[in-house]
Structure 1
Amino acid sequence: MKNHESELQTLLISTINGLKISMKSIMKEQGIPLSPLYFMILKRIHDTENCTANFLADVTEKDKGQITRLVKEVIAEGLVIKRPNPNDKRSQFLQLTDSGLTCYMTLENADKAVLKEMRSEVSDEELQQFLSVGAKMLTKLNAINHKKERG
């Protein structure tokens, strides 16, 4: 009898590692001295209106200290700026600079090309089924994790 759970675990870990390796390679080719985690931070800032460091900590499930360090580094690289939050003097919004947007768009386009190539032999129907099943499993995983946090 096959252990499908083990196969699922191996597939997910291998996919994530493969995407990280691909992104590292793209970043190196582009001369961007950051890790794939920074791409995810830039993506969240790009996609989120009025993004804050606290929001990043929540959605990435990283501790606030780590997010603070990451934000300081992208600010030092000239990719992000802080602007005042008019509704809360204690927080600041994060925004991509022009060079941050250029960097993000370069990485986003390269990432999309890799994803397109990755699924080149997968039909739209197969991909939709995979995404649907994956969403169900992720919902269940989140419920399990939230239950453990409360209990």
Structure 2
Amino acid sequence: MYKSGFEGFIRDKYTALPETRERMLATEVTGLWRYSYESLSSIPQKPLYFMERYNDVKRVLLETFFGPPNEGVYSPSVQNTLYQMARATLNRFPDIDSVQLKMPNIHFLPVNISNTGGQIVKFNDDVYLPTDEPHGSIQATLSRFWSKM
């Protein structure tokens, strides 16, 4: 994803990060989902059904994360992207009851390099330093609402 930022979040006295519309989004996605069927006899009997469904869910998650190949999709936050991915999965597959996604922030901080004269060499923020601390552990579960009526 080449269009991401971190904006629109709640600010309080503990907020340290400024809002930005240009920020590298790096994460590892772990996804779990649960199926729901009326009865044992309603479980699909087609060989490899669940293998095919796994590949279909993976495709929906990837397409939602990256967006169209030529344009991408803007992400205002990892949290928003996680929600959009889980929602797209539930909307596409009626037999999936809930989706749990874990998407920790993997930070790459922009580096400003000074030359010998003390001037900052600008690279338009294209030089990054990987760091593992601090980091955010972001996860959520999105479920269908099943009415008892």
Task: Output the TM-score relative to the length of structure 1.
Answer: 0.22
Task: Output the TM-score relative to the length of structure 2.
Answer: 0.22
Instruction: Specify which structure has the higher proportion of strand.
Output: 2
Q: Answer 1 or 2: higher relative contact order, Cα 8 Å, separation at least 6.
A: 2
